[in-house]
């Protein structure tokens, strides 16, 4: 089985060859924790969660690193008033690290809700200031960077003069870039408008600041990812991911920093996830065209007619390939909900099927498995994989109606393969099973409260608990072993 990955750098689907056989080093740009993540951000992280799960399922040992951007997210014009942390700090009158903590916790809660697995390492930009200063020094020593008025910039023209190619990922022509960029940043501090900041001098108003050989300041955004990916995955590693919008300038700058520092391209396979749109417009905080994950799950929004369980949202997202744009809509969510319950029903039916070793089945399990793995290894094609899973669903319903048969061996194989794809690879959750567990836990609490009421001779309350549950169709039965319940 050969895994093919679309490499944004070469714009081709390539056969995946890891640096160390059987192992994968993967870095994905994490969130800037200055506000709540919106559903669009979730889509990108979910795409890479699916890729991580798929690689693991295919037998790779993955070291998955996803950072937290918690230092000043430098804007193009370098204006301190545009630093996202400073802005939000003023607004909420909190310490910058209080903002960071608040939204990091929120980010984890949201990803947990959608059943995303945690990365193996989750480094923060503020925890790697020393490494970023060292990288900046190295770039100055090698002649790729220069200091100007307490800030340090990467010299894009020098980089190109040495035969390296700034713009290779975004396929931008340097002359074009020069013609189209205005020098807004640093009031003439830069040699060329395309030069980007590695280290930025902190103005008196800037709260997040660190000592450096160039005075007090803070690191540039692009540098943190180079520092952290190099530290945990090496100078060249297998996969780097992020949203499509990060290709330029963020990832372009990462390539330049890596090549300038180490003489080699830092990443073998660049993977970019496409955008989530709503009303056919990219979801984004700045335009106001966004929905927060909790608003969708709770139903408190004006866009969707009802609330949807996070696993339905996950299923909906995975029905689009990670490189395609996905427009979220009420109809798409309703269709996902319907498809999801059919899938869960099929899994339930599978447990009650009696195999038949005498009759020949019209369904070839081997062919079906091959098709599923072909889809998964074809650049992680989740919609095609899901379509194949539904062929199995159709077959299971035919088994139920005695229109098909299956051997004992195939039945076990189908069960384990389908369960692995649905729960391990797609990361879906069985809502019904979870609900049953919750119901049981809740009833145990009520039984305990009723016992306490009886002990303290509060029979009014204990009878009320019993009668109200009975009215809801839940009968409590007192026996020698304690109290049990029956759902009528």
With contact defined as beta carbons under 8 Å apart, do 329 and 317 qualify?
no
Asked whether position 271 contacts Zn ion by CB under 5 A, the answer is no
Phi, psi angle pair for 115, to nearest 5° = 60, 40
Site for Zn ion in 201-230 (CB under 5 A): 225
User: Residue 57, annotated ligand binder?
Assistant: no
Q: What is the CA angle 404-410-412, rounded to 5?
A: 115
408 CB-contact burial (10 Å; exposed 0-12 / middle 13-18 / buried 19+):
exposed
Alpha helices, H only, 263-355: 293-298, 310-318, 330-350
Site for ligand AMP in 229-258 (CB under 6 A): 242-243, 245-246
Decide the pairing of beta strands 61-66 and 23-28: parallel
What does 225 interact with, of ligand AMP, Zn ion, none (CB < 5 to 8 A by kind)?
Zn ion
* Position 5 contacts ligand AMP (CB under 6 A): no
Tokens 């020393």 found at? 130
Q: Please tell me whether residue 74 binds Zn ion under the rule CB under 5 A.
A: no
32 is a site residue for ligand AMP (CB under 6 A): yes
Q: With CB cut-offs between 5 and 8 Å by kind, which of ligand AMP, Zn ion, none does residue 32 bind?
A: ligand AMP
Residue 478 phi/psi, 5-degree rounding, is -90, 125
Q: How far is the CB of 219 from Zn ion (least distance, A)?
A: 12
Residue count at the site for Zn ion (CB under 5 A)? Answer: 2
Q: Please pick, from the candidates 7, 8, 41, 429, the single residue that binds ligand AMP as defined by CB under 6 A.
A: 41
Query: Is 73 annotated as contributing to ligand binding?
Result: no
Query: By three-state DSSP, how is residue 479 classified?
Result: strand
> Interaction with ligand AMP in 361-400: which residues (CB under 6 A)?
none
CB of 149 to ligand AMP, least distance (A): 28
36 belongs to the binding site for ligand AMP (CB under 6 A): no
What are the percentages of helix, strand and coil residues in the chain, rounded to 5? 50, 15, 35
Say whether residue 40 binds ligand AMP (CB under 6 A): yes
Residue 141 marked ligand-binding:
no
Q: Which does 74 bind (CB under 5 to 8 A by kind): ligand AMP, Zn ion, none?
A: none
Tokens 């039965």 locate to 477
Question: Following DSSP, what letter does each residue of 5-42 receive, concatenated?
Answer: EEETTTTEEEE---SSTTEEEEEE---BTTS---HHHH
Candidates 18, 25, 31, 258: give the one binding ligand AMP (CB under 6 A).
Answer: 31
Site for Zn ion (CB under 5 A): which residue of 3, 26, 28, 29?
29
How many residues in total does the chain contain? Answer: 488
Residues within the interface to Zn ion (CB under 5 A): 29, 225
Binding region for Zn(2+):
29, 225, 250, 254
Binding footprint of ligand AMP on the chain (CB under 6 A): 29, 31-32, 40-41, 43-44, 242-243, 245-246, 275-276, 282-284
């Amino acid at each position: 089985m050969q895994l093919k990955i679309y490499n944004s750098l070469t714009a081709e689907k390539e056969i995946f060859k890891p640096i160390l056989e059987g192992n994968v080093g993967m870095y994905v740009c994490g969130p800037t924790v200055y506000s709540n993540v919106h559903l669009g951000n979730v889509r990108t992280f979910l795409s890479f969660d699916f890729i991580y799960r798929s690689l693991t399922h295919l037998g790779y040992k993955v070291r998955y690193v996803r950072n937290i951007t918690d230092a000043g997210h430098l804007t193009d014009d370098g204006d301190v008033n545009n630093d996202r942390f400073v802005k939000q700090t003023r607004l909420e009158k909190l310490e910058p690290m209080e903002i960071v903590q608040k939204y990091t916790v929120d980010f984890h809660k949201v990803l947990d809700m959608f059943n995303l697995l945690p990365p193996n390492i989750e480094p923060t930009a503020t925890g790697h200031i020393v490494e970023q200063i060292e990288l900046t020094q190295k770039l100055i020593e090698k002649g790729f960077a220069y200091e100007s008025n307490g800030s340090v910039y990467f010299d894009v023209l020098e980089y190109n003069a040495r035969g390296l190619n700034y713009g290779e990922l975004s396929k931008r022509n340097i002359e074009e870039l020069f013609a189209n960029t205005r020098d807004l940043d640093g009031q003439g501090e830069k040699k060329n408008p395309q030069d980007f900041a590695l280290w930025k001098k902190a103005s008196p108003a800037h709260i997040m600041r660190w000592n450096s050989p160039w005075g007090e300041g803070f690191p540039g955004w692009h540098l943190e990812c180079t520092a952290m990916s190099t530290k945990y995955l090496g100078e060249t590693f297998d996969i780097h991911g992020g949203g499509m919008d990060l290709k330029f300038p963020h990832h372009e700058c990462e390539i330049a920093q890596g090549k300038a520092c180490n003489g080699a391209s830092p990443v073998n396979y660049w993977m970019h996830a496409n955008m989530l749109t709503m009303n056919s417009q990219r979801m984004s905080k700045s335009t106001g065209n966004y929905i927060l994950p909790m608003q969708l799950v709770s139903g408190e929004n004006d866009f969707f007619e009802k609330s949807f369980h996070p696993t339905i949202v996950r299923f909906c997202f995975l029905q689009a390939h990670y490189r395609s744009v996905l427009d979220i809509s009420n109809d798409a969510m309703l269709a996902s909900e319907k498809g999801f319950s059919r899938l869960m029903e099929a899994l339930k039916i599978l447990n009650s099927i009696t195999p038949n070793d005498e009759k020949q089945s019209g369904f070839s399990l081997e062919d079906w498995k091959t098709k599923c793995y072909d889809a998964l290894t074809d650049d992680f094609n989740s919609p095609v994989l899901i379509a194949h899973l539904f062929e199995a669903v159709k077959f299971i319903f035919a088994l139920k109606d005695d229109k098909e048969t299956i051997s004992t061996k195939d039945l076990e194989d189908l069960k384990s393969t389908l369960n692995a794809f649905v729960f391990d690879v797609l990361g879906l959750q069985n809502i019904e099973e979870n609900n049953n567990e919750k119901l049981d836990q809740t009833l145990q609490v009520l039984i305990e409260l009723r016992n306490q009421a009886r002990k303290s001779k509060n029979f009014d309350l204990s009878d009320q608990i019993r009668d109200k549950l009975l009215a809801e169709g839940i009968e409590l039965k007192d026996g020698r072993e304690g109290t049990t319940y029956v759902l009528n």
